[in-house]
Amino acid sequence: MYMLITLAWRNLWRKKKRTLISVSSVMFAAILAIILMSMINGMKDQFVESIVNNTTGYMQIQDVLYDEEPTIDHALEYTEEIENLLDKFSDQYNYTVPRIHGFGLASRDMGTRGVMIMGIDPEKENRMNNLSGRLVEGEMFELQDDFAVIAEGLAHQLELTLGDTIVLLGQGFQGMTAAGTFKVGGIVRFPLPEQNNAMVYLPLKEAQWFFAAPDRLTSLIIMTHTQEDAFELAAQMKQEIDTEWYAVYTWEELMPDKVAAFEARDAQIKVMAWILYIVAGFGIFGTVITMMHERLREFGILLSIGLKRAQLAFVCIIETVVMSLLGVIAGVALGFPIVYNWYRNPISLGDELGDVMIDLGIEPVMSFSIAPDIFIYQASTIFFIALVVGIYPVKKIFGLDITKAARK
């Protein structure tokens, strides 16, 4: 056994160029697979993060009628029952984010625009999506303040600057007229046009006063530790909550259209990944065939001087395993800094692809992931492909004509 392993090792470095070609074919296949899967996982994580942090959160508690008819009349009453439910599961989530929002009109002088008016707790909202970090002018309000923070696009459309007054008009709770004037104390910038041209933020109490809906919320967002925790917690809360009055939804249930659209695109990319695996397999196979024919005379001589076919096949298997391991290790070593650079510096997208991302509600950049399972899975897959390709030399050895091979 030791002799065969030694022979395999010496064979590898007896012709370094041949070994380097084989190792390189495995290495480049591993690098391409790592880059592609890092992109797939990164885009998926970006999609979830964008949806969770900027819109729905991981899960929500709503009035049972709100999802079918999202009007202020179906705002959730924050009762003692909701407080007790949250207390019961307090160890299974990080924090809650209360919101009340509705559509309205914003105007200044003769200009009028349709807007989304959202009442928030600034401290909790910042914890969720770092809203204050998007400020380009002014400051974010505190919970006790009474001024508004508006999106940059809306400010440009209505020609509003800090200190100006914005007039808001909408429909309040149970047919009440919602009307109010607020000074502009801050301006925020969003990458998505639908947000940047329509958002008006008010302190939660001011928004509840504006909508004539004290102690009511359109949604109570619950931020769990992980995405998987949200599904488990939602299932538990659905068993405890009074489903006649309240409903619990995960982010996937709240955004089914966007989830379906992204999954379709994700499936297309995975098909491309399998095409890459097939191409990589044939690339490695072509390299092995070429080297096999170069070594036929060598194999014929070894068999003619007494080496058994099983022993020679074992030597080839050892060579394949070592070359595959070296190629995979080199692929991971070179692939990691590439995807890490793109992980730290996402690639900006423009034109049609960027428009598609915006339509999905995602910032138009291509993000990458550096999750360990990406490197483990891709490395093991390419290694397995290389081992399967390594069956060819073994089969060739057992069917080899010693006389013809020795004469080549």
CA 88 to chain centre: 31
Kindly state the DSSP code that residue 211 receives in the 8-state scheme: T
Instruction: Give how many domains the chain has, as a whole number.
Output: 2
Shared-domain flag, residues 238 and 263: no
Shared-domain flag, residues 104 and 197: yes
| H-helix segments, 52-173 | 80-88, 122-129, 152-158
Q: What is the pLDDT of residue 353?
A: 64
Shared-domain flag, residues 300 and 401: yes
Shared-domain flag, residues 282 and 402: yes
Shared-domain flag, residues 156 and 267: no
In a domain, 254, yes or no: no
Query: Coil, strand or helix: which one is 96?
Result: strand
Q: Where are the beta strands (DSSP E) in 155-218?
A: 165-171, 177-188, 199-203, 216-217
157 CB-near residues (< 8 Å, 6+ apart) = 111, 113, 197
pTM over 0.85: no
Look up the domain containing 87 and give its range. 65-242
- Give the closest residue to 304 by CA, choosing from 188, 403, 181: 403
Shared-domain flag, residues 294 and 397: yes
Shared-domain flag, residues 344 and 229: no
- Angle 127-129-134 from CA coordinates, rounded to 5°: 110
Q: Identify whether the C-beta of residue 396 lies closer than 8 Å to the C-beta of residue 291.
A: no
- Angle 278-283-287 from CA coordinates, rounded to 5°: 145
How far is it, in rounded angstroms, from Cα 207 to Cα 143? 11
Q: What is the pLDDT of residue 292?
A: 73
Shared-domain flag, residues 335 and 299: yes
In a domain, 329, yes or no: yes
How far is it, in rounded angstroms, from Cα 239 to Cα 226? 21
In a domain, 210, yes or no: yes
Query: Coil, strand or helix: which one is 215?
Result: coil
Phi, psi of 97 (to 5 degrees): -130, 105
Point out the domain boundary residue: 242, 276, 297.
Answer: 242
Shared-domain flag, residues 135 and 25: no
In a domain, 59, yes or no: no
Shared-domain flag, residues 336 and 364: yes
- Reading the chain (408 residues) residue by residue, the pLDDT tens digits are 667 777 667 767 777 777 788 788 888 888 888 888 888 888 777 777 777 887 888 999 999 999 888 889 999 988 888 999 999 998 999 999 999 999 999 998 778 999 999 999 999 999 998 889 899 999 999 999 999 999 999 999 999 999 999 999 999 998 888 999 999 999 999 877 888 999 999 999 999 999 999 989 999 999 998 888 889 999 999 988 888 889 999 988 888 887 787 777 777 777 877 787 787 777 777 777 777 777 777 777 777 777 777 777 777 777 778 888 888 889 889 999 999 998 888 877 766 666 666 655 566 777 888 888 888 887 888 788 877 887 877 777 777 666 665 565
Point out the domain boundary residue: 209, 242, 275.
Answer: 242
In a domain, 115, yes or no: yes
How far is it, in rounded angstroms, from Cα 305 to Cα 307? 6
In a domain, 250, yes or no: no
Shared-domain flag, residues 162 and 196: yes
Shared-domain flag, residues 167 and 38: no
CA 279 to chain centre: 26
Q: Identify whether the C-beta of residue 155 lies closer than 8 Å to the C-beta of residue 111.
A: no
In a domain, 21, yes or no: yes
Q: How far is CA 264 from CA 260, 269, 322, 352, in A?
A: 6, 9, 39, 17
In a domain, 183, yes or no: yes
- Give the closest residue to 198 by CA, choosing from 116, 137, 129, 136: 116
Tell me the two tokens of residue 116.
């989304």
Q: What is the pLDDT of residue 151?
A: 95
Point out the domain boundary residue: 200, 216, 242.
Answer: 242
